[in-house]
Amino acid sequence: MRVDQATASRASAKRRAPAWPTPDALRRIGRTPLVPLARLQARFIGVRLFAKLEWANPGGSVKDRAAASIIADAEASGRLRPGMALLDASSGNTAVAYAMIAAAKRYRAVLCVPKNANPRVQALLRTYGAEVVATDPLEGSDGAIREARRLAAERPDEFLYVDQYTNPANWQAHYRTTAAEIWDQTRGTVTHFIAGLGTTGTFTGTTRRLKELHPLLQAVAVQPDAALHGLEGLKHLASAIVPGIYDPALPDETRFVSTESAYAALQDLAQAEGLFAGSSSGAALAAGLDLAGELSGTATPATIALIFPDAAAREAASGLSTSLPGLARQPS
Ligand X SMILES: Cc1ncc(COP(=O)(O)O)c(C=O)c1O
100 or 295: whose CB is closer to ligand X?
100
Distance CA 261, CA 252 (A): 22
Helix axes 279-295, 259-273, angle to 10 degrees: 80
- Long-range contacts of residues 247-253, Cβ cutoff 8 Å, at least 24 apart: 247/200, 247/204, 250/203, 250/204, 250/207, 250/208, 250/219, 250/221, 251/203, 251/207, 251/219, 251/220, 251/221, 252/218, 252/219, 252/220, 253/218, 253/219, 253/220, 253/221
203 or 276: whose CB is closer to ligand X?
203
Cβ 307 vs Cβ 35: under 8 Å: no
Phi, psi for 69 (deg, rounded to 5): -70, -40
Q: Which helix (H) or strand (E) covers residue 279, if one does?
A: helix 279-295
Which residue stretch of 5-13, 58-66, 183-191, 319-327 sits at the interface with ligand X (rule: CB under 6 A)?
A: 58-66
Nearest distance from C-beta of residue 327 to ligand X, angstroms: 27
Which residue stretch of 17-25, 142-150, 230-238, 254-262 sits at the interface with ligand X (rule: CB under 6 A)?
A: 230-238
For ligand X, the binding residues in 113-172 under the rule CB under 6 A are none
Nearest distance from C-beta of residue 65 to ligand X, angstroms: 8
Q: What is the DSSP letter of 7?
A: H
For residue 60, state whether it binds ligand X (rule: CB under 6 A).
Answer: no
Q: How many residues bind ligand X (CB under 6 A)?
A: 21
Q: Which string of x and - marks every residue 9-48 that binds ligand X (by CB under 6 A)?
A: ----------------------------------------
Which residue stretch of 32-40, 57-65, 249-257, 267-275 sits at the interface with ligand X (rule: CB under 6 A)?
A: 57-65
Nearest distance from C-beta of residue 284 to ligand X, angstroms: 8
DSSP letters for 283-301: HHHHHHHHHHHHHTTSSS-
Q: What share of residues in the chain are helix, strand, coil (percent, to 5)?
A: 45, 15, 35
Distance CA 200, CA 203 (A): 5
196 or 288: whose CB is closer to ligand X?
196
Nearest distance from C-beta of residue 66 to ligand X, angstroms: 6
Nearest distance from C-beta of residue 246 to ligand X, angstroms: 9
For ligand X, the binding residues in 231-250 under the rule CB under 6 A are 232-234
Q: Which string of x and - marks every residue 85-104 that binds ligand X (by CB under 6 A)?
A: -------xxx----------
48 or 65: whose CB is closer to ligand X?
65
- Residues sharing a CB contact under 8 Å with residue 281, sequence separation 6 or more, in sequence order: 51, 266, 269, 306, 307, 308, 309, 310
Q: Which residue is nearest to ligand X (CB)?
A: 233
Nearest distance from C-beta of residue 170 to ligand X, angstroms: 7
For ligand X, the binding residues in 170-229 under the rule CB under 6 A are 196-203
The alpha carbon dihedral of 319, 258, 192, 272 has a sign of positive
Residues with catalytic annotation?
A: 63, 280
Q: Which string of x and - marks every residue 296-325 that binds ligand X (by CB under 6 A)?
A: -------------xx---------------
199 or 218: whose CB is closer to ligand X?
199
Other beta carbons within 10 angstroms of residue 158's beta carbon come to 14
Q: Which helix (H) or strand (E) covers residue 218, if one does?
A: strand 218-224
Per CB under 6 A, residues contacting ligand X are 61-63, 92-94, 196-203, 232-234, 278, 280, 309-310
